[in-house]
Copies of this chain bind each other. A is one copy, B any other.
Amino acid sequence: MTLPDFVSVPGLSGIRFQVDYRLTGDREEAAAKAQDICIEQTVEFPAELVPAGDIRQHIFGRIESLEPDGPDAFLARISYAAEVATTELTQVLNVLFGNTSIKPGVRIERLYLPADFLAAFRGPRFGVPGLRDLLGVHDRPLLGTALKPMGMSAEALAELAYRFALGGVDVIKDDHSLADQPFCRYEDRVARCAEAVARANRETGQRCLYVPHVSSTADGTLQRALFARQAGAGGVMVCPGLTGFDTMRLLADDDRLDLPIIAHPALIGSFTTSPTSGIAHDALYGQLMRLAGADATIFPNYGGRFSFSVEECASIAAGCAVEMGHFRPIFPSPGGGMSVDRVADMSRLYGRDVIYLIGGGLHRHSPDLVENARHFSRMVRQAAGAG
């Protein structure tokens, strides 16, 4: 019994995007894995039951190439029809890695999203040039820090923010642990910290940005971001692993918000804990964060509390700037157990377009937080050779 419309699929433009998957195994195993991905990520149906026609020819994923990638691994470039992924980010992620994420020995290495596919996405609203314009800082790396520890009152966190801003920090974000706890309510904290940073800016003449953490319920994150805007915040931080990537995209696309967005990696770590599964650092922290509208992407720096290598961190910085249609490059923002005395070394790796994120370490230099921030500033300017 033949089912209707099994062969003809209307509305296909011919536009395809490509994904590099790294597959462990010998050539035969890798070829089988690549073929499996073509089916698993699209029709998820016994291929032998699909007759010749549009489904087989266009809806199936297509192996464009299969090349060795080191010992016992291959790189498969697989293409998908744009219409399969639609213009909704959830479905794009679904096609890229939905079911295949469950399979060990398959890792997304790189996305190749053509300009005509990316045209449906706004991408980073500010990116490097826009964030630099907001700050009025064009000649050096940016200084970032975090308000913490959780448990402090909104008033105390605002006092921290004031001192860091006075000392010359450019971007002062909430620690991602700060939500809407009973001992430090979101709205109270944001209002106080925004005011404190504005007060410091009036004294310094600088344009330090306060960036609260807005991840909240599915129907509350945008509201939290709009409150931040109204309270005078200079950006918002989102954890797409907690909210879903599309919530970040929603914020980036909202003209009422119109603020830079910093992505934080909470709960996305499992994509990179295995070297042979998950999503490569540059594709995840660079390309996917840009696709979801981030203007800066926080990740654990090499040599801190986390395990990312120098090469992985360099790849993230590259992913922040790699060609992606009309998308702007974004700021890599390495952090996680950093100290000011590592700035010179980091400077060699990251160059100028970076936000150095030093949180707890900024409390360590001396008890004078304003002076600690100034010291941070001096070290960055010195390393950047910008005086």
Q: Type the 1/0 row for A135-163, where 1 means its CB is closer than 8 Å to any CB of B.
A: 00000000000101111110110011000
- Chain A contact residues, majority secondary structure: loop
Q: Does A102 contact B (CB under 8 A)?
A: yes
Q: Does A119 contact B (CB under 8 A)?
A: no
Q: Does A310 contact B (CB under 8 A)?
A: no
In residues 78-99 of chain A, which contact B (Cβ within 8 Å)?
A: 83-84, 86, 88-91, 93-95, 97-99
Q: Does A4 contact B (CB under 8 A)?
A: yes
Among B46, B97, B243, point to the contact of A360 (Cβ < 8 A): B46
Is the interface on chain A under 10, 10 to 19, 20 to 34, or 35 or more residues?
A: 35 or more
Report yes or no: A49 in contact with B102, Cβ–Cβ below 8 A: no
Set of chain B residues within 8 Å of A216, measured between Cβ atoms? 88, 90-91
Set of chain B residues within 8 Å of A279, measured between Cβ atoms? 270
Q: How far is the CA of A58 from the CA of B97 in the complex (A)?
A: 40
Set of chain B residues within 8 Å of A84, measured between Cβ atoms? 150, 177, 181
Report yes or no: A360 in contact with B44, Cβ–Cβ below 8 A: yes
**This chain: how many copies in the complex?**
2
Set of chain B residues within 8 Å of A217, measured between Cβ atoms? 88-90, 246, 249-250
Q: Type the 1/0 row for A1-17, where 1 means its CB is closer than 8 Å to any CB of B.
A: 10111100111100000
Q: Type the 1/0 row for A292-314, where 1 means its CB is closer than 8 Å to any CB of B.
A: 00000000100001110000000
Tell which of A68-76, A229-237, A260-268, A343-351 binds the partner.
A260-268
Which A residues lie at the B interface, using CB under 8 A? 1, 3-6, 9-12, 36, 40-46, 49-50, 54-55, 58-59, 83-84, 86, 88-91, 93-95, 97-104, 146, 148-153, 155-156, 159-160, 175-177, 179-183, 215-222, 239, 241-244, 246-247, 249-250, 265-274, 277-279, 300, 305-307, 336, 359-361, 363-364, 367-369
